[in-house]
Amino acid sequence: MTTLIASLRTTLSGYIKYRGREGHYSFLLHRITGLGTLLFLAIHIVDTATVYWMPELYDHAIAIYRLPPFLLGEIGLVFCVIYHGVNGLRIIYQDMVKPSSWTIHTQRRAARWTLALSILFWLPAAFVMFRTLLAHL
């Protein structure tokens, strides 16, 4: 148990203290957005499956998603999905197509472009969703 806690602490402090700038931040963002999306996905599969297993429950599940905090969470979820996708494509390109681009300079520039592109794709979606949120207050 003590070794487990020591191992958790070593890994987590490494995540935080490592000073890899853009590469480090995109690694962290990729993991956070991925795990966040997975958490929602697991819940989402089960709540949608109620239409078959327990149809009377589905309305209640959807009612929760219509609450303002969940609508805000949904806007965040869309950012996670967009960032994880754009950054994933960058990793796939650098791994499978052009491994020579795994240099610090290229990677830093690519990481900045990835974030900029993700925000650009996310803003119109966030705008539409936020407008819907306000309309249903």
Partner 1 sequence: MTTATAPARVNLKPKPNYETTAWKWMRYSGVLLVPLVWIHVAIQDVIVGVHNIDINYVALRWANIGWQVYDILLLAFTFAHGMNGLRQVSFDFFQSDKARRNLSWIIFVAWLVISFIGAMAIIGGARTHLLEP
Q: Residues interacting with partner 1, by CB under 8 A?
A: 4, 7-8, 11, 31, 34-35, 37-38, 41-42, 45-46, 48-53, 55-56, 58-59, 62, 65-66, 71, 74, 77-78, 81-82, 85, 88-89, 91-92, 95-96, 125, 128-129, 132, 136
Q: How many helices (H) and strands (E) does the chain have?
A: 5, 0
Question: At closest approach, how far in Å is the CB of 115 from partner 1?
Answer: 17
| The two three-digit tokens of residue 78, written as one number | 């869309």
The whole-angstrom separation of Cα 42 and Cα 123 is: 26
Instruction: Name which of 11 and 105 has its Cβ closer to partner 1.
Output: 11
Question: At closest approach, how far in Å is the CB of 112 from partner 1?
Answer: 20
CB of 88 closer than 8 Å to CB of 64: no
Instruction: Name which of 22 and 74 has its Cβ closer to partner 1.
Output: 74
Instruction: Name which of 62 and 120 has its Cβ closer to partner 1.
Output: 62
Q: How many CA atoms lie within 13 A of 116 on its CB side?
A: 7
Instruction: Name which of 41 and 116 has its Cβ closer to partner 1.
Output: 41
Amino acid at 63: A
Q: CA nearest 111: which of 132, 82, 83? A: 83
